[in-house]
Structure 1
Amino acid sequence: MQRRYFLRTSLAALPLAAAPVALAPPAADRNTRGFKASAGEGRYHGHLQLKGVNQNILDVKVSGKDTNGDLAIFEQTSRSQGRGTPLHVHLGQDEIFYVLDGEYAFQVGEDRHRLRTGDSIFLPRHVPHAWTQVSPRGHMLVTMQPAGKLEEFFVAMAALKTEPTPQEVAQLFAAHDMKVVGPPLKVD
């Protein structure tokens, strides 16, 4: 009988334990207003024309600045068939890709997957992963949680004047809390 009473009162108290977190005011530097990110527009940087591992266009839809670093969402227009990222790890972020259009090959750890329109994939932090664009064109939504330094990484890749060497790519990755651990994914 005492056990049943303990369980019942413990379960009843759970909402009270979560109340301080749920009712806490937002951080001072967190956006407290909703916003719209229109089609074809980036939130802070306009279109970022990448000049690194691919020549894709990236639009920041939700910035880490909007969420106090909790989340970032990017829209990627892929124009680099047969190209993709080197095998790498994110030291502090989970990553989710949702394919809006096209086809991509992904490697997550030892597993390989083909993603097509409507497919999504979860890439946990600390797990080596890479992707390569298979179709002539593609379009993906990329979510990072927490935001980390990926937005700054994309801004740095867009600012390059020439395509970087593999050593420069590794340095750029390292400066943004990622580590290159292998070559880009080859597609059969």
Structure 2
Amino acid sequence: MSVLAEGSQTNGQISVAEHRYPAGYEIGLHTHMFEDEGWYVAEGTVTFPMPDDNLELTATAGEFVWHPVRRRHGLRVSEDGPARLIQFLTPGTSLVPSFFEQLKVNGSPDSPDLAQVVESSKQNYGVYLDTGSDDLPPRTPSLNHGPLTSDAKLIVPPRSDQHLCNRPYKSDKSDVRSLKIGRGMMTDVEATFHAFGAQTGNALGMVEINWGPGDVAGAHVHTLEDEGFYVLDGEITLRVAAPEGVVTAVAQAGDLVWAPRELAHYYEMTGSEGARVLVFEVPGGSLGEFFIDISKMRAADIESDEALAEAVRWMGDEFGIYFLAPGEFPEE
């Protein structure tokens, strides 16, 4: 396991870790009492059993699976090859890395300390390991179980049709949308949506964006969410106007960078081939809906000063995203 972000680094909002598992590897059924959990499959094929939801989802590279808090779940890696996964836990508790370090030391099924691990997992981390005993955690109401649709796919609704829930699902990597903002921003950009707040109980939003080289997102401030960037391919440079001065972070494949809410930031694709990035927000409210509206070409024609001013007002009023005027971002 590689820790990408601990809760102490994200103000308790989220923890993120990378896991590499061999072919045939299996994590038995267990229940998180405190965290919702999402898995992005970067490589391989993984099956996620969720018996409390009468559901079993198999995900391949480029797909994201979500399972809510207080539901039994596990995972099985295909026998055909190894898997690499990115795990997202909200909120960001001590589960990463402390719980996994404990399991690595004495969590083997054949360990004489297994009973102690089971009890410690429950008492210290709120994780119930399914050992077949009668010591079961409290369940969420059964009316809230199961996917919203028969195929358990992520729903990409119009904003006016969204009804908040927290249900398991798998994203649809074939649903690729074009994003474009005028004046040279987000040119020829493709996006795949993996999480919306409406389906994760506002815990997480996520979109995978494939940017071209040199593309840029101008200086802006998020007032409603913290924003993270996990780089799948390429290179992105993020600049954040932190209280101690401008912080510059250059992130390449496998890196994660973080932009807290209320701090102005901007980023550009500094790799020769651009960058493919998982952009995620916590809580999962407005950012995904913003990108959905952008995919409908809501801000594609902003060449005139009047159109630009209207688009800037729209972004602030609807999504709490405020773009800075030229010269407002502090110098490094």
Q: Provide TM-score, normalisation by structure 1.
A: 0.73
| Seq. identity, % | 24
How much does 1:48 deviate? 2.4
Instruction: Pick from 61, 68, 90 the counterpart of residue 222 of structure 2.
Output: 90
| 2:275 paired with 1:138 | yes
CA contact (8 A) 1:88 1:182 kept: no
Q: How does 1:96-115 map to 2 (within 5 A)?
A: 96-109=228-241, 110-115=246-251
Unaligned runs of 5+ in 2: 1-122, 127-136, 145-163
Q: Which amino acid in structure 1 is aligned with residue 215 of structure 2?
A: R
Q: Which amino acid in structure 2 is aligned with residue 67 of structure 1?
A: T
Aligned equivalent of 2:207: 74
Aligned equivalent of 2:286: 149
Counterparts of 1:49 and 1:116, CA distance in 2? 23
Instruction: Pick from 166, 191, 194 the counterpart of residue 31 of structure 1.
Output: 166
Counterparts of 1:141 and 1:75, CA distance in 2? 4
Q: Residue 216 of structure 2: SS of its match in structure 1?
A: coil
CA contact (8 A) 2:227 2:261 kept: yes
Counterparts of 2:139 and 2:321, CA distance in 1? 32
Q: Provide TM-score, normalisation by structure 2.
A: 0.43
Unaligned runs of 5+ in 1: 1-14
Counterparts of 1:92 and 1:148, CA distance in 2? 8
Distance 1:125 1:62, change over 3 A: same
Aligned equivalent of 2:112: none
Q: Which amino acid in structure 1 is aligned with residue 179 of structure 2?
A: L
| Deviation per residue, 1:50-109 (Å, 9 max, x gap) | 111213111111111211222111111112x22211111110101110001001111111
CA contact (8 A) 1:86 1:183 kept: no
Counterparts of 2:210 and 2:302, CA distance in 1? 20
Distance 1:82 1:60, change over 3 A: same
Structure having greater relative contact order (Cα 8 Å, sep ≥ 6)? 1
| 2:312 paired with 1:170 | yes
Q: Residue 262 of structure 2: SS of its match in structure 1?
A: coil
CA contact (8 A) 1:84 1:131 kept: yes
How much does 1:23 deviate? 5.2
